Amino acid sequence: MIDTINQKKEVGKMARNMISLKAGGPAGSGVFTIGAMFARSVQKAGLNVFYTADYPSLIKGGHNACYVRAEPNEVWSQISTIDILVAIDKVSVEKHFNELTHQGAIIFDSDNFDIKEVNLSSRPDILIFPVPMTTIGKEIGDRLFSNVVAIGAICALINHNLEKVYICLENQFGKKKSIGTSIVDNNKKAVKKGYDYIKEKFNVNFKISIEEVKADPTILLSGNEAASIGAIKAGLKVVAEYPMTPSSSILSFMAANEYNYNIVVKHTEDEIAAINMLCGSAMTGARSLTATSGGGFSLMTEAIGMAGLSETPLVIIESMRTGPSTGMPTYTEQSDLRFAIHASQGEFPRLICAPGDVDESFYETYKMFNLTDRTQTPGIILMDKHLSESSKSTKPFDTSKLKIERGKLMTYQQMENAKDFKRYLLTDDGISPRSVPGQPNGLYVSTSYEHYEDSFTNEESYMRIAQVEKRARKLNSITEDEIAPKFFGDKDADLTIVSWGSNKGMILEAMKWLSKEGLKVNFLQILWIVPFPVKKVTEILTKAKKTLMIEQNFDAQMKGLIREKTGIDIKNLLLKYDGRPLDPEEIYAKVKEVMAK
Amino acid sequence: MTTTVNDVSNKNVIQWCPGCGDFGVLMSIKQALAGLNLNPKDVVIASGIGCSGKMPHYVKTYGLESIHGRSLAAATGVQLANPRLTVIAVGGDGDGYGIGLNHFIQSVRRNVKITYLVHNNMVYGLTKGQTAPTALKGTKTSSTPHGSIEMPINPIALAIAATGTFVARGFAGNLPHLSNLIKAGIQHKGFALIDIFQPCVTYNHDQTFDFYRQRTYDLQAQNWDTANHMEAYKKAWEWGDKIPIGIFYKEERPTYSDELPQDKDLPVALQNIDNVDITPLLNKYY
């Protein structure tokens, strides 16, 4: 039998604490639980973790896969190879066995299919571990436990301490009550049975083992979670949102915390209602947020212009997915950059930033609330599916330097003695004092119509010109330091990579390998897009010997923007638009190709 | 302090046609605000686009002139952020029953505390005389030169069907009645629809002031039972020689904000946000 033959194969050198794993199965089979629970458990063993998921837009069936990578050092992204494949169904083996490293392992539910039906003849090195997960699950009481059996089986293979999984199960299910034996106990039993099954049936000597390491505590969370927490830290008070992948988890995160943090969370009838509600709530002084993806953002565009003209600070998270139109709803892309910059008719200042990892999702979201309040204009946080829905471990957020800044928002006390208040007063910095309903002496109309300083409708040219210029001046209040790009690697490099968004992680992974080979590569990450950090980008790119632009779109939108803003044209391009995130291997290969030119 | 009509009036130049029904609505709003002795700083009037959309500029309160069809969404945002404010939304029939119809139905079922005044003149005015969602079947306009083919929307019936808690109709040519209706709407706990016959003197020569003067009668003068849901629905369809105005249906139900503990002590817009502790949120990620 193929499994017994494989197990007896001599196993190569043991690798400690470095693992890359994938779990696959139909939607609804619990594969994400396998990945998420395992990820959390190795985090508890002191490792750094990256977790991501690949799934189609359906509720049951299809093919879902999740991916976990853990190492003692910071892990920035997935890599394209895996050491263990957990397969709930045959499709998962067929799709992913070739991603396995030499002498990698397949753990599969032998109740669901016979692995002999898959032609693995090209990979005789692969170790095969059939586990009757469904049968074991049923023995405990429900086939639903079968995915948890798989976690136990993984642990057995890599000698991972079951206690770490138990803690995760307690955290996850501890609060849920069930009839008779508790859910936690049953899940623990399932893990233990999966573990014992491998240990008893197979003489395991797998190439990877996990041993607990002492490390500073980390938090493991997704871009959406980090951005949500950043918004809450910034004093978020109103959320109006319509669900749309990959932003929907922000709505549920906020709803789950609406009472703890006194946030009014409204699932609206559509995205038009969401953004228009924000124009009302933000005008009333509440820090306000909506989140959506490209389709919903399209519906919001008209009201974004209203926020611009009425000078209403509000924040929109736009998590990009594969477009246009419905596109590939659950896959990643960075093709809304130009759209975000130009969304809505007419000209008005706006703010746009694009976080590249979970830390930036937190800090830049926080900063966005301060800057939109300062400039009294809408702000867009451009994320992408790969950032929104992938989790990474990182240091706990340092909030000691964070300070709420509300710009020229007037307090009740300030307004009590206000005279001749003009909401759209022409000022040197373009920013006018802002009263809110309820305050005395501050009456005005927050208006979508061009207006005089007192907010009354205006169509005369002198005031039109004055108000256009006043609004445009507002962004001058933001310094280049506040919107600085990030720079990684040696100043003197032979190649400069330029990119933005979630590509950051994969680029930093690729740079690890490149630097091991002695190749001198650095990386310029554009973090704030509007306003654009012209000076710093120009300075870095002027000095660069060779440049390579990496983006997840067809039109090289950021490359075009850089050329528009700096006059510098980046010649080498790595563009990807198949909906899948770049792998570090692709970047590594492209860099070598460009450097060899 | 007592609020007078003067206190809520400003000197902005009014841009409506002479004789427009909007003047009646404007005066009724002012009378209602004064009658209820509301402080202008605690009132927000939200509008969309259209002739009615100019309303916030003509009443001395806070205002929110939003975009076409979105007055209710914008007004809801104000209400969610600070339910202590008095929020009035105004719109036309195109704004509220055409482009903004979804928000209308959702706001009704939400019972968010907004008084919604719809300037219903059965025609598009500001865009110069096209058909409206409330135009009667057969109405000839510049966009329906051969007569409108669709049945009109019946906003009263629609609001009753959507679990409305205050469903009423006024007439811009009957100021005492309309201002009392608006007062009752503002005092109502929840969403109050006041559909207003507001003759467009420029583009609608059928449904004129005279047309309504001859036909309208006050339901309250006939001791109409405002608590009977089914009878109110039937009444909503009465049209012809006699057309009812007044309150069709009224019920007490908690407002949307009543169900939000988030602002029980203080509206969320007024809460201090300086030191939000996110430690409990982060704990689950260790």
Chain A residues with beta carbon closer than 8 angstroms to that of B274: 235, 404
> Do residue A212 and residue A226 come from a single domain?
no
Domain boundary among A217, A251, A270: A217
What pLDDT is stored for residue A266 in this prediction? 98
Domain holding A170: CATH number? 3.40.920.10
In angstroms, the first-to-last Cα distance of chain B is: 57
Inside any domain, residue A400: no
Q: Is residue A26 located within the same domain as residue A149?
A: yes
The amino acid that residue B156 corresponds to is I
Q: Which domain holds residue A586?
A: 483-596
Check CB contact of B82 with chain A, cutoff 8 Å.
Answer: yes
**A263–B12 CB contact, under 8 Å:** no
Same domain, A366 and A418: no
Domains in chain B: boundaries: 6-258
Element containing residue A82 per DSSP (H, E): strand A82-87
> Looking at the domain assignment, is residue A501 inside a domain?
yes
Asked if A243 and A386 sit in the same domain, the reply is yes
Q: What is the pLDDT of residue A31?
A: 95
DSSP string, A534-579: HHHHHHHHHH-SSEEEEESSSS-HHHHHHHHHH-----EEEE--SS
Question: In sequence order, what are the residues at sequence separation of 6 or more whose Cβ sits closer than 8 angstroms to the Cβ of residue A88?
Answer: A23, A24, A25, A26, A29, A30, A31, A108, A109, A112, A133, A146, A147, A150
Chain-centroid distance, C-alpha A591: 25
Indicate which CATH number applies to the domain containing A354: 3.40.50.970
Residue A403 lies in a domain: no
The C-alpha atoms of residue A490 and residue A510 are separated, in whole angstroms, by 15
Q: In whole angstroms, what is the distance from residue B270 CA to residue B278 CA?
A: 20
Phi-psi region of A468 (alpha: psi -120 to 50; beta: other; left: phi over 0): alpha
Q: Clarify whether residues A331 and A419 are in a common domain.
A: no
How, if at all, do strands B192-197 and B115-120 pair?
Answer: parallel
**The pLDDT of residue A3:** 35
The reported pLDDT for the residue numbered A14 is 62
Query: Could you tell me which CATH number the domain at B6-258 has?
Result: 3.40.50.970
How many CA atoms does the CB half-sphere of B204 hold within 13 Å?
28
Contact A219 B282 (CB under 8 A): yes
Residue A492 has a CB neighbour count (10 Å cut-off) of 9
Tell me the chain B residues in contact with residue A218 when contact means C-beta distances shorter than 8 Å: 286
A178 close contact with B: CB closer than 8 A? no
Peptide bond between residue B244 and the one before it cis (omega within 30 degrees of 0): no
Tens-digit pLDDT profile for residues A322-349? 999 999 999 999 999 999 999 999 999 9
**A418 and A458 inside one domain:** yes
pLDDT in tens, B141-182: 999 999 999 999 999 999 999 999 999 999 999 999 999 999
* CA B141 from centre of chain: 25
**DSSP letter string over A390-441?**
-EEEEPPP--TT-----TTBPPHHHHHT--S--TT---TTS---B--TTSTT
Decide: B113 and B72 in contact? Cβ < 8 Å: no
A173 and A314 belong to one structural domain: no
A59 located within any domain: yes
User: Coil, helix or strand for A333?
Assistant: coil
Peptide bond into A246 cis (omega under 30): yes
Q: What is the pLDDT of residue A10?
A: 36
A14 touches chain B (CB under 8 A): no
Q: Where are the strands (E) in A136-256, listed by range? A: 208-209, 219-222, 236-241
The first and second tokens of residue B175, run together, are: 């100021």
**Would you state the pLDDT for residue A204?**
85
| Cα A306 to Cα B77: distance, rounded to the nearest angstrom | 14
pLDDT in tens, B233-285: 999 999 999 999 999 999 999 999 999 999 999 999 999 999 999 999 999 99
- Say what percent of chain A tops pLDDT 90: 92
Residue A402 lies in a domain: no
Q: Could you say which of B42, B57, B79 has the minimum Cβ distance to residue A457?
A: B57
CB A387 within 8 A of CB A381: no
**Residues A474 and A502 both lie in one domain:** no
Strand intervals (E) in A430-520: 445-447, 486-488, 495-500
For residue B201, count CB atoms less than 10 angstroms from its CB and return exposed for 0-12, middle for 13-18, buried for 19 or more. middle
Neighboring chain A residues of B282 at a CB cutoff of 8 Å:
219, 229, 396-397
Residues A273 and A294 in one domain: yes
What is the pLDDT at residue A8? 32
Show which of residues 9-38 on chain B sit within 8 Å of chain A, judged by CB atoms: 12, 15
CA atoms within 13 A on the CB side of A322: 15
Let me know whether A471 and A530 are in one domain: no
- Work out how many domains chain A is built from and give that number: 4
Q: What is the ipTM of this complex?
A: 0.98
Query: How far is residue A527 CA from its own chain's centroid?
Result: 14
- Note whether A354 and A456 are same-domain residues: no
Output the DSSP codes for B94-130: HIIIIITHHHHHHHHHHT-S-EEEEEE-SEETTTTSE
Regarding whether A565 and A499 lie in a shared domain, the answer is yes
**Mind listing the pLDDT tens digit of every residue in chain A (597 residues)?**
233 333 333 334 567 899 999 999 999 999 999 999 999 999 999 999 999 999 988 888 899 999 999 999 999 999 999 999 999 999 999 999 999 999 999 999 999 999 999 999 999 999 999 999 999 999 998 999 999 999 999 999 999 999 999 999 998 887 666 554 678 999 999 999 999 999 999 998 899 999 999 999 999 999 999 999 999 999 999 999 999 999 999 999 999 999 999 999 999 999 999 999 999 999 999 999 999 999 999 999 999 999 999 999 999 999 999 999 999 999 999 999 999 999 999 999 999 999 999 999 999 999 999 999 999 999 999 999 999 999 999 999 999 999 999 999 999 999 999 999 999 999 999 999 999 999 999 999 999 999 999 999 999 999 999 999 999 999 999 999 999 999 999 999 999 999 999 999 999 999 999 999 999 999 999 999 999 999 999 999 999 999 999 999 999 999 999 999 999 999 999 999 999 999 999 999 999 999 999
